[in-house]
Amino acid sequence: MLLFDFVLQMFGNDTEKIFVKDRRKQKAKLLMFYRRGVRIGNWEFVLVFFIGDNNKTYTAKEKIMKKPIKRIGVAVLASCMAFGVLSNFGLRGVEAAGNTVEVYEGDDIAAVINKAAAGTTIYVHAGNYKYKSAISIKNNDISVICEEGTVLNGTGVNVTSSNESMVKIYGDNVTIDNLDVTGLKTNSYKVVPTGYRVCAGADHVTIKNCEVSDIGCIYENKSNIKKYNAHGIIVSGEIASAITDVTIDNCYVHGLTLGQSESLVLNGNVDDFKVINNLVENNDNIGIDLIGYEKQDDDYSEEENEFDRARNGLVENNVVRNISSGSNPTYKDSKCAGGIYVDGGTTIEIKSNYVENSDIGIEVASEHEGKITDNITVTNNTFVKNQGFNGISIGGCDKENGYAGDCIFAKNIVYNEANHCFNFQQIKNTNVITDNVFIDTASDVYEKESACSSDALKKTKISNFISRKTSFATKDTVFNVKYVDIDSDNCTITINSDKKFDGYGAKIDFSKNTLGKTVKEDEKPVDNYEENDTEDNTEAEVDENDTEDEEMVEPTYKISAPSFYTVKDLSDGSKQFTFKKTGSTNWKHITVDFNDVDLERYNKVYITVVASRKDLYLGITNKDEDDPIFYRNHWKSSSKVGTTKEVTIEIDLTEDNLDGLYIYCDATSSSTYKKSQKLTIRSIRFDKK
């Protein structure tokens, strides 16, 4: 022990723990060692003291699961008594640590990176690098720094099990910056094309500023259609080998065909992660996924299997758009893909994300019977038109699934024009859904599925701001919405109402999230400064005569009607038109005049109306009475409103209607409706491109 104390004083105390599987007892044994390495030239000396009790077993509950021994080299293992061995292992023929290596277009990028010694920084110059074999980073302390425009291109490559992942990371302290991967596709369901894969045992990994595109499945084998899988980025930990401290930052993941898998996913034993500032869009399955319980193994105890969960994570400042399985044949065109999905994860904070036009804005659920997704906090996010299924969904979708519990949803904004804002499935324990803003223009705000028990729902705290009364027994506040303006480019939603919602929803910081919005060189604004001006932050002088041309004029509208209608201005700014059948004046139109519609900036107009009867025929044309263009043909039964709730009608803006529209209401002679036929125009808004 004197030697032991002396060495600790000389070299310090680095402690590692090894998880050793005893399959006979289905327990884990602990081998703990003190290690200190000294590098002299091309030789590394490793001093190792092994400590352990061969008769004692440890469970996963004691949190001893760590990756296998790395960098020990050749060491003689005696008994599990305190013992020291001074050993060395040769590094001859391999680049010494601390080197820098440069890669140029035409080089074999995988060969250079794969042979780099621990501590090497690889600088990759811009270029289109042909993908030949997988980049596999197995050494520690590796940095791959790429110039803008560095692309690893897998187009035309025959995808096999050995090259299905373009970049694989096994080592610790690995950073990859600005390496774009693209083009790896296959019609084979037996392989899984993947952009980036972080493998079990890796720690302290950062993937940032990388673009992942055009990767995935070519759905040709119809008889095995459900076996297709692909990933953009996957971090995949195993029960006995955790991945810790992973950051995925400012990556652009798009144009993927994923089969049954996900765009950006952390699966299994992944502890301490950040998914921040990314743009994920235009993929045919889940956008960001945080998974647990998929790798359960009977060889492990129940406590050990609990490590099979993505946990202790942050998902912040991401933009997720156009995520839908509607065109994915492995789902038979069912729309069920979540923009963000937590399936089995635990202790995760999801905040300030913007999700638009996905099947589900966010789903917090468990697909595994008897298992729970818990301690998920979802705050200050914006979910817009995620209406293939619902804006937010919580729980397992049927009795064969698991639960969600102890989750919090607060200060989120959800806007839908179809389906519901919030969907309840199998839940348990106490969930808190308070202080959110739910605007639904076509359906009830809430939906409860049969899998959700009434007792579980009673334990849920529900108190939100909602745009319409609901059948749910809640403590909600109904507020009056005048109009909603959505700016998809800037990821914002503006709510004009009798309530103020400052501090609600996402505030996307584009200084940290720029991928997918890069300005081309010839489109960049030109400085108004003279060449000899200094950078003193002084505002450039602007000719007052030029300001009028540069000012952006917002479109406006005006509504008028003939005497066939009795017009009433309501307190919320709506116009209510009352009418009844009087001879041949059945089809008099309401006129909506548009002003200052710039078709280069605006491409749609949305008209929100409420009819007093479900079978009201509603027609809309342009203002050409001689040869009208019908956007809704009031002569056809398909133009019945069909509800007495709000309906929003979307119309493309063109040269034919930029000056306005005619709205037609039929007036029945039925005595039931004769004195009570009304159409209320709640709002008209113009949508920017």
Query: Which residue would you say has higher pLDDT here, 24 or 616?
Result: 616
How high is the pLDDT of residue 514?
A: 63
Q: How far, in Å, CA of 551 to CA of 115, rounded?
A: 58
What is the band of 520 on the pLDDT scale with cuts at 50, 70, 90? very low
Per mean pLDDT, which of 391-395, 539-543, 579-583 is the most reliable? 391-395
Query: Which residue would you say has higher pLDDT here, 97 or 388?
Result: 388
Tokens matching residue 550: 């540069």
Contacts of 96-104 with CB under 8 Å at 24 or more apart are 96/41, 96/42, 97/39, 97/141
Least confident of 53-57, 112-116, 286-290, 371-375: 53-57
Mean pLDDT of the 329-354 span: 96
How high is the pLDDT of residue 568?
A: 86
User: Residue 438's closest CA among 384, 496, 359?
Assistant: 384
Model pTM score: 0.66
Q: Are 318 and 275 in contact (CB under 8 A)?
A: yes
How high is the pLDDT of residue 54?
A: 40
What is the band of 564 on the pLDDT scale with cuts at 50, 70, 90? confident
Say how many C-beta atoms besides its own lie within 10 A of residue 222's C-beta. Answer: 7
In the block, tokens 């004691």 appear at: 62
How high is the pLDDT of residue 436?
A: 98
Q: How far, in Å, CA of 295 to CA of 191, rounded?
A: 19
**Amino acid at site 204:** H
Least confident of 44-48, 566-570, 678-682: 44-48
Tokens matching residue 209: 């500023």
Q: How far is CA 104 from CA 101, 108, 127, 277, in A?
A: 10, 9, 7, 29
Q: How far, in Å, CA of 349 to CA of 279, rounded?
A: 18
The dihedral through the CA atoms of 332, 336, 337, 341 has a sign that is: negative
Tokens matching residue 374: 């818990």
Q: Are 381 and 362 in contact (CB under 8 A)?
A: yes
Count, residues in the chain: 689
How high is the pLDDT of residue 337?
A: 97
Residues in CB range of 362: below 8 A, 6 or more apart: 338, 339, 340, 341, 342, 350, 355, 378, 381, 383, 392, 393
Least confident of 121-125, 346-350, 443-447, 582-586: 582-586
Asked if the model's pLDDT at residue 146 lies above 80, the reply is yes
pLDDT tens, 487-504? 999 999 999 999 999 999
Q: Are 684 and 602 in contact (CB under 8 A)?
A: no
Q: Are strands 270-276 and 310-316 parallel, antiparallel or unpaired?
A: parallel
Diameter over CA atoms, the chain:
111
Query: Which residue would you say has higher pLDDT here, 233 or 17?
Result: 233
pLDDT tens, 289-339? 999 999 999 999 999 999 999 999 999 999 999 999 999 999 987 999 999
pLDDT tens, 63-90? 323 333 333 333 333 333 333 333 333 3
Q: Average per-residue pLDDT in the chain?
A: 82
How high is the pLDDT of residue 472?
A: 81
Least confident of 2-16, 492-506, 661-675: 2-16
Q: Are 275 and 264 in contact (CB under 8 A)?
A: yes
User: Residue 434's closest CA among 467, 457, 460?
Assistant: 460
What is the band of 20 on the pLDDT scale with cuts at 50, 70, 90? very low
What is the band of 670 on the pLDDT scale with cuts at 50, 70, 90? low
**Amino acid at site 552:** M
